[in-house]
């Protein structure tokens, strides 16, 4: 869970970085999208790196989900009878929503791929330019809202997930490091979710336009 | 958070007030020797008959000394003696005994089985060590895990003659302090051995991973404890007992994993099986009740070790755990094991007082509080329900400072305890009314806070203040604490010889359950030492001398003795479940505790003890007739468990009173009103009472039989305490 | 004060249980929670109803025998053991729900008493240093840096009460496990068996049916000894090293 989570954190950081090119205008963004596919060519065929990434991500996703289901099922077996009354003492909302939040994120990822990768869903038209496609979509309010909600979910997932990853990898084995890990989770969550949210927000606020 | 949680280094630097002998009444400032005149040198009576069950000899009233207050309550049997300790210099005896004790061939060990009852420090360490040696061990305990035994609650520390501080400590000095602390009522050979093996205990525990306090250099820290002048106490914050027990528990569980020890959780020993296979009676097993299923089980073995702890719960309220009981020891007593010095109980002056009739146990606070707190009660009884802050200085009676001007609040434990009770009996106690009186005195830090500043008091006593606040809901920084004495430890127990073997061959007794090492009073930080000494080092060496003659002839569940023991257990259970009387078990226990506390507590008098005996007898009769235990035997039935324990306490209580009544002297934890100096100090009577009183069960209707074991002091001179 | 108690009653391990409501009056705020239950039991006995079974022993917060789920929180509203909880933490008229620890690894024996022998079996699997009596070198032979000794001690204060399991949404015993691993891992005496210990203890933990840790932290929040969550990180680190060592 921790290792696959680490893959995702690395990926979303890169992805977010790429998205921010949207603020530099259509040319820069489309160039970036193009270069992604040319990266490491001719050692790899056109789009090769992306495919490698996709395979790694898919494998991680399978691993992540399998681990999640294993934990889920163990938890269910570990408490065969529920409490009549059970209160939360300290757990953060993010730590308690990892499972359903994860499911929601999975649903979002599917939507996101259908929307921007396979172009199956085309709420803002179907232009060739990735930039125009992006901006056009976010100009549809409900698309932007879906993306913003998803980023909130992602931020929460990362807030606990990143801390939890450091803990599971055994890197937090004293009180100071433990506190640092919590801070890392929070910072990463804000950076990633905030960074992603900038683009739809930029579009909604008219900073990023066609 | 528990009282033991916070780092009490500050407050527990000295468990007892500076200069006050912890657990001993003999040496308030460690200077008593200069003050005390050397007292009676003990006569050396000839060693009596060998230990064992001897025919009772009825003592005609005329033969008794004039002061035998207990005439008519007991009969006198033949004297007994420890026949196992080698003669010769005390420092050679253990080495010789270890050498002379027969060895058991390693291949034979797995054919030999030992039952261990109780898994506190003594029981866990004995079971683990015997398991390591290769014997087949079965360990029984009433808790759900061996690690929960009440040794876990010991706070202060463990003594060992390591002399790491190079401050003049030695085996001899620890031995000497312990004999003196016990008011010359312990056996020299046993105490010397205890001091001798003490150092090995620390080595063993450190190797197991017990996290003792350390200095910055990484070496072990020591503190001075109980007023002794040397720093020989090893500690793990305020939770030394817990850490030592976890060490022993882990050693035990390691043997469970290795298959040499089998643990039986939630099993209570209800009877001892003694079988005569032709070579005389031997302890060969126990009858237990599985507390979850109610099943009565017989467990047979070549030897039985009782490490079942003390009997402080006879007082109902004590610092013992709720489940601590005398049943294992008492059932053994009824089968022939002598019970020695039952009247020796230790009462701790600084406990949190009873808050009401619902009180179920008492909590100890470190005596170090008396270093800076001032103890007082109102001069006038009518002020007792006032807010103490509203009582002006001139209306306060700092009674310890008044009565003992030179030692004031630092008088020894027993004096502090006794005077607190006197004040409350006079009607000047404070706190809530409990029954017909207020049971508490003030321990006031107002002066200390003014003198040292609040932060210094906080640094030194913060954890104790927190504990007090949590239990009472009062803020001890703002209003004086209330304290009251409580029963803490019992020095008496089953009589054992140097090998820790009781008067029943094959029955060994270790830890607080035996009587051997503390005499009439126990030094602070010595209980943990004794438990582990017995379990790790003494018993495993001495029991082999007995086991070398085994395996003993096989017996089965069908043996008449075994069947009788089982039937006896079943009969008692059936009785409890069928009486359907009107009073709960706890109500009887509370009443017994009240009788014991009033008449056999801090101050005992002939008249009071006789009253107590009559009351106990009447209560016992009522108990068997009118106790109410609901439910069935075939499930977890906590009232049924307690009924059996209370039944045994009701018998023990009477013996304690008889023992206290016959011992017309004050020594250690036993204070007889009739034996005190004009100043109210304890007065020992070495001429008539320098012996161990080992009581033999006299039957349901008979009187207990007293066997005296004379105490001979060859290495230490007996001295009378004096501290005024 | 007067309270309404809702208590889990279950005659034995195989029976089905139910919540039963008992009003209780004249509760003193100086009573401990368990003394309040003692009073209830005296009353039930007088009325001919079997008393409520619950575990407790030392009643001073160190033996770890007591443990009740009180209004949905392990050991109740204060960070302490159930026996150290006092009635002044409640108010007149409160409804107090009392349940046993609920975990498959802790089967209910009767009413509020559960079987925690799984913890002993986890210790059996390696929670010790293998040193026979008499085989120890002098206690001063190996100095232990104070920092390590202190952390070992902090971890060793675990009283094995099971509140961590009871509170954990996953029913995991990782805090208990991590505490023992950390206690021994911080000391030189624990190094020789460090890797086998963690592998075997984790294996036993899983066999006992406890859940996996998702680092939520409810365990630490209810732990009466406030064992920190970083002991679980030490457990994980040792596990990582041990697994890597096996490759």
Residues B477 and B564 in one domain: no
Q: What percent of chain B has pLDDT over 90?
A: 78
Residue with tokens 């990898």: A169
| 38-57 of C, contacting B, C-beta below 8 A | 38-39, 42, 45-46, 48-51, 53, 55-57
CATH of the domain at C39: 3.10.20.30
Domain boundary among C110, C144, C174: C110
- Note the pLDDT of residue B13: 34
Q: Does any domain span residue B696?
A: no
Which tokens go with C102? 């609920």
Structure confidence by residue, pLDDT tens digits, C76-132 = 999 999 999 999 999 999 999 999 999 999 999 999 999 999 999 999 999 999 999
Chains near C, with 3+ CB pairs < 8 A?
Answer: A, B
Residue B440 lies in a domain: yes
Same domain assignment for residues C151 and C102:
no
Residues B384 and B469 in one domain: yes
> Is residue B398 helix, strand or coil?
coil
**How close C220 comes to chain A (CA, Å)?**
9
Give the pLDDT confidence score for residue B639 in this predicted structure: 97
Average pLDDT along chain A: 93
Residue that finishes a domain, picked among C63, C84, C110: C110
Q: For residues C124 and C225, state if they share a domain.
A: yes
B589/B677 same-domain check:
yes
Q: Which residue has the higher pLDDT, B588 or B471?
A: B588
- How far apart CA B557 and CA B298 sit, in angstroms, is 7
Q: d(Cα B662, Cα B343) in Å, to the nearest integer?
A: 10
Q: What is the pLDDT of residues B215-231, one digit of tens each?
A: 999 999 998 876 678 89
User: Residue C197 phi/psi, 5° resolution?
Assistant: -60, -50
Query: Do residue B475 and residue B355 come from a single domain?
Result: yes
Please give the average per-residue pLDDT across C226-234, as a whole number. 97
Q: Give the ranges where chain A is alpha helix by DSSP (H).
A: 2-19, 26-38, 48-78, 93-96, 98-112, 130-138, 141-168, 175-204
Most confident of A25-29, A204-208, B107-111, B324-328: B324-328
pLDDT one-digit tens code per residue, A147-177: 999 999 999 999 999 999 999 999 999 999 9
**Interatomic CA distance for residues A131 and B361, integer angstroms:** 75
ipTM: 0.98
Q: What is the DSSP letter of B462?
A: H
CB-based contact, A95 to chain C, within 8 Å = yes
pLDDT recorded at residue B224: 81
User: How far apart, in Å, are the Cα atoms of B664 and each of B242, B347, B705, B716, C197?
Assistant: 38, 19, 17, 24, 58
Whether residues C85 and C166 share a domain: the answer is no
pLDDT exceeds cutoff 60 at B409: yes
- Residue A113 Cα to chain centre, angstroms: 12
Range of the domain at C28: 3-110
B479 and B370 in a single domain? The answer is yes
| Contact between chains at A171 and C210 (C-beta distance less than 8 A) | no
- How far, CA to CA in Å, does B476 sit from each of A120, B417, B554, B641, C87? 73, 21, 62, 38, 19
Q: Are residues C106 and C124 in the same domain?
A: no
Beta bridge partners of B444: B374
Interface contacts (B, C; CB < 8 Å): 246
Indicate the number of domains in chain B: 2
Whether B670 maps to a domain, the answer reads yes
Residue B333 inside a domain? The answer is no
What is the mean predicted confidence (pLDDT) over B435-441?
A: 89
Chain B residues whose beta carbon lies within 8 Å of the beta carbon of residue C139:
162, 202-203, 205-207, 212, 220
Of A69-73, B457-461, B506-510, the least confident: B457-461
- Give counts: helices (H), strands (E), chain B: 19, 27
Residues C71 and C31 in one domain: yes
pLDDT of residue B297: 97
For residues B599 and B613, give the distance between their C-alpha atoms in angstroms, rounded to a whole number: 9
Task: Please report whether residue B253 resides in a domain.
Answer: no
Distance between CA atoms of residues C198 and C207, nearest Å: 14
Six token digits for residue B347: 């009462």
Sequence-distant (6+) residues with CB within 8 A of B96 are B86, B88
Please give the share of chain B, as a percent, with pLDDT higher than 70. 90
What's the CA angle centered on B570, arms B313 and B551, to 5 degrees?
85
Residues β-bridged to residue B304: B115, B507
Given this model, what pLDDT does residue C191 score?
97
pLDDT on residue B46: 33
Predicted local distance difference test score (pLDDT) of residue B589: 98
Where do the domains of chain A lie, and which CATH numbers do they carry? 2-204 (1.20.1300)
Would you state the pLDDT for residue B227? 65
pLDDT at B1: 38
B338 backbone φψ class: left, alpha, beta (φ>0; ψ -120 to 50): beta
Structural domain boundaries, residue B445:
349-487
Domain final position from C78, C110, C142: C110
Round the average pLDDT of chain B to a whole number and report it.
Answer: 89
Which of the residue ranges B34-43, B550-559, C124-133, C220-229 would you say has the lowest mean pLDDT?
B34-43
Please tell me whether residues C101 and C221 are part of one structural domain: no
Residue B67 has pLDDT above 90, yes or no: no
Q: Quick one: average pLDDT of B338-364?
A: 93
Strand partners, C4: C23, C95
Give yes or no: residues C176 and C203 share one domain: yes
Convert the pLDDT of each residue in B694-708 to its tens digit. Answer: 999 999 889 999 999
CATH number reported for the structural domain that contains residue C196 in this entry: 1.10.1060.10
C72 and C103: one domain?
Answer: yes
Closest partner CB to C31 (pick from B4, B216, B358)? B358
Distance CA B624, CA B606 (A): 27
**Residues C198 and C130 grouped into a single domain:** yes
CB contact under 8 A, C60 and B361: yes
Whether B596 is in a domain gets the answer yes
Please tell me the predicted confidence (pLDDT) of residue C235: 97
Whole-angstrom Cα distance, residue B718 to residue A184?
A: 70
Number of domains in chain C: 2
Asked whether residue B551 is assigned to any structural domain, the reply reads no
Per mean pLDDT, which range of B105-114, B292-301, B352-361 is the poorest? B352-361
Share of chain C above pLDDT 70, in %: 100
What is the pLDDT at residue B57? Answer: 42
Angle between helices C230-246 and A175-204 (to 10 degrees): 100
Whether residues C70 and C8 fall in one domain? yes
By CA distance, what is A87's nearest residue in C?
C72
Residues C106 and C174 in one domain: no
Please name the helix (run of DSSP H) or strand (run of DSSP E) that holds residue B159, with its range, or none: strand B158-159
Here the CATH number for the domain that contains residue B673 is 1.20.58.100
Higher pLDDT, A184 or B18: A184
Q: How far is B596 from B601, CA to CA, in rounded Å?
A: 6
Residues B451 and B571 in one domain: no
pLDDT at B721: 64
- Give domain status of residue B473, yes or no: yes
Q: Are residues C84 and C130 in the same domain?
A: no
Give the CATH number of the domain where residue B367 resides. 3.90.700.10
Q: From CA A32, how far away is CA A23, in angstroms rounded?
A: 12
Residue of A nearest to C237 (CA): A170
| Number of Cβ atoms within 10 Å of the Cβ of C185 | 24
């Amino acid at each position: 869970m921790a290792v696959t989570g680490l893959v995702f954190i690395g990926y979303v950081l890169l992805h977010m970085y790429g998205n921010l090119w949207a603020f530099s205008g259509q040319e820069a963004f489309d160039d970036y999208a193009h270069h992604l596919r040319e990266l490491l060519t001719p050692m790899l065929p056109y789009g090769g790196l992306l495919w490698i990434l996709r395979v790694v991500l898919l494998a991680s996703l399978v691993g992540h989900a399998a681990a999640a289901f294993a934990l889920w099922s163990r938890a269910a077996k570990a408490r065969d009878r529920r409490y009549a009354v059970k209160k939360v003492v300290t757990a953060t909302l993010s730590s308690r929503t990892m499972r359903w939040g994860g499911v929601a994120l999975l649903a979002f990822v599917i939507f996101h791929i259908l929307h921007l990768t396979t172009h199956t869903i085309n709420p803002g038209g179907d232009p060739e330019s990735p930039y125009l496609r992006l901006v056009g979509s976010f100009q549809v309010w409900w698309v932007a809202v879906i993306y913003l909600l998803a980023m909130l979910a992602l931020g929460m997932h990362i807030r606990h997930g990143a801390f939890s990853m450091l803990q599971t990898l055994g890197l937090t084995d004293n009180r100071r490091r433990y506190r640092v890990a919590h801070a890392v989770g929070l910072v990463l969550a804000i950076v990633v979710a905030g960074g992603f949210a900038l683009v739809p927000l930029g579009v909604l606020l008219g900073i990023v336009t066609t | 958070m528990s009282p033991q949680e916070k780092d009490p280094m500050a407050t527990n630097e000295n468990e007892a007030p500076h200069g006050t002998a912890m657990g001993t009444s003999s040496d308030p400032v460690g200077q008593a020797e200069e003050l005390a005149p050397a007292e009676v040198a003990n006569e050396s009576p000839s060693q009596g008959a060998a230990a064992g069950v001897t025919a009772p000899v009825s003592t005609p009233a005329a033969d008794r000394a004039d002061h035998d207050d207990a005439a008519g309550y007991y009969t006198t049997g033949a004297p007994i003696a420890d026949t196992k300790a080698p003669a010769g210099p005390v420092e050679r005896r253990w080495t010789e005994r270890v050498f002379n004790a027969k060895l058991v061939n390693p291949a034979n060990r797995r054919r030999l089985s030992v039952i261990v009852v109780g898994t506190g420090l003594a029981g866990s360490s004995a079971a683990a060590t015997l398991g390591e040696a290769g014997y087949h061990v079965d360990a029984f305990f009433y808790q759900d895990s061996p690690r929960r035994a009440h040794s876990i609650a010991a706070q202060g520390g463990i003594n060992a003659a390591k002399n790491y501080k190079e401050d003049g400590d030695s085996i001899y000095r620890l031995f000497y302090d312990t004999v003196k602390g016990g008011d010359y009522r312990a056996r020299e050979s046993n105490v010397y051995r205890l001091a001798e093996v003490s150092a090995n205990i620390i080595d063993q525990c450190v190797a197991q991973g017990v996290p003792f306090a350390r200095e910055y250099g990484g070496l072990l820290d020591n503190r001075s404890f109980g007023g002794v002048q040397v720093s020989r106490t090893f500690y793990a914050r305020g939770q030394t007992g817990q850490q030592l027990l976890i060490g022993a528990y882990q050693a035990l569980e390691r043997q469970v994993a290795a298959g040499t020890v089998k643990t039986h959780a939630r099993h209570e020993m209800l009877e001892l099986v003694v079988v005569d296979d032709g070579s005389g009676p031997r302890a060969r097993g126990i009858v237990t009740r599985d507390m979850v299923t109610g099943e009565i089980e017989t467990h047979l073995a070549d030897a039985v070790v009782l490490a079942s702890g003390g009997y402080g719960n006879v007082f109902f309220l004590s610092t013992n755990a709720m489940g601590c009981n005398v049943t294992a020891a008492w059932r053994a007593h009824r089968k022939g094991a002598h019970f020695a010095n039952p009247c020796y109980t230790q009462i701790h002056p600084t406990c949190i007082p009873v808050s009401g009739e619902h009180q179920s146990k008492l909590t100890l606070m470190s005596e170090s509080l008396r270093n800076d707190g001032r103890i007082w009660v109102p001069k006038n009884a009518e002020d007792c329900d006032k807010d103490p802050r509203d009582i002006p200085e001139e209306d306060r009676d700092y009674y310890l400072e008044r009565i003992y001007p030179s030692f004031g609040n630092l008088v020894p434990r027993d004096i502090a305890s006794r005077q607190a009770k006197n004040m409350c009996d006079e009607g000047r106690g404070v706190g809530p009314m409990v029954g017909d009186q207020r049971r508490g005195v003030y321990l006031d830090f107002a002066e200390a806070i003014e003198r040292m500043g609040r932060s210094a008091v906080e640094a030194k006593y913060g954890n104790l203040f927190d504990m007090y606040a949590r239990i009472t809901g009062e803020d001890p920084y703002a209003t004086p604490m209330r304290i009251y004495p409580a029963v803490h430890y019992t020095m008496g127990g089953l009589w054992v010889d140097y090998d820790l073997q009781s008067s029943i061959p094959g029955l060994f007794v270790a830890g607080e359950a035996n009587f051997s090492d503390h005499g009439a009073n126990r030094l602070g930080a010595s209980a943990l030492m004794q438990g582990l000494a017995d379990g790790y080092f003494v018993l495993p060496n001495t029991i082999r001398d007995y086991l070398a003659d085994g395996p003993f002839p096989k017996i089965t569940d069908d043996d008449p003795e075994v069947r009788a023991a089982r039937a006896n257990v079943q009969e008692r259970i059936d009785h409890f479940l069928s009486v359907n009387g009107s009073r709960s078990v706890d109500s009887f226990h509370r009443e017994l505790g009240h009788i014991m506390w009033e008449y056999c507590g801090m101050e005992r008098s002939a008249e009071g003890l006789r009253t107590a005996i009559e009351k106990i007898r009447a209560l016992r009769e009522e108990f068997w007739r009118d106790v109410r235990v609901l439910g069935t035997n075939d499930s977890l039935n906590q009232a049924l468990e307690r009924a059996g324990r209370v039944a045994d306490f009701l018998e023990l209580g009477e013996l304690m009173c008889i023992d206290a009544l016959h011992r017309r002297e004050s020594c250690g934890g036993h204070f007889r009103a009739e034996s005190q100096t004009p100043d109210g100090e304890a007065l020992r009577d070495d001429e008539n009472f320098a012996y161990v009183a080992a009581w033999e069960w006299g039957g349901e209707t008979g009187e207990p039989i007293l066997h005296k074991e004379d105490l001979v002091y060859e290495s230490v001179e007996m001295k009378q305490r004096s501290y005024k | 004060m007067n309270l309404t108690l809702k208590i889990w009653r279950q005659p034995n391990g195989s029976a089905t249980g139910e919540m039963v409501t008992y009003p209780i009056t004249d509760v003193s705020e100086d009573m401990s929670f368990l003394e309040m239950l003692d009073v209830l039991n005296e009353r039930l006995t007088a009325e001919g109803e079997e008393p409520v079974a619950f575990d407790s022993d030392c009643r001073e917060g160190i033996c770890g025998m007591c443990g009740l789920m009180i209004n949905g929180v392990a050991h109740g509203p204060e960070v302490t053991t159930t026996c150290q909880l006092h009635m002044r933490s409640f108010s007149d008229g409160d409804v107090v729900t009392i349940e046993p620890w609920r975990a498959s690894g802790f089967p209910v024996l009767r009413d509020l008493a559960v079987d925690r022998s799984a913890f002993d079996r986890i210790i059996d699997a390696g929670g010790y240093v293998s040193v026979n009596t008499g085989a120890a070198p002098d206690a001063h032979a190996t100095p232990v840096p104070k920092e390590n000794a202190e952390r070992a001690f902090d971890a060793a204060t675990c009283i094995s009460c099971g509140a961590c399991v009871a509170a954990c949404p996953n029913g995991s015993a990782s805090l208990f496990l991590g505490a023992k691993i950390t206690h021994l891992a911080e000391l030189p005496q624990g190094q020789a068996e460090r890797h086998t210990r963690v592998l075997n203890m984790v294996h036993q933990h899983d066999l006992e049916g406890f859940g996996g840790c998702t680092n939520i932290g409810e365990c630490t929040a209810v732990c009466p000894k406030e064992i920190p969550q970083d002991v679980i990180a030490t457990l994980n680190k040792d596990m990582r090293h041990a697994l890597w060592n096996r490759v």
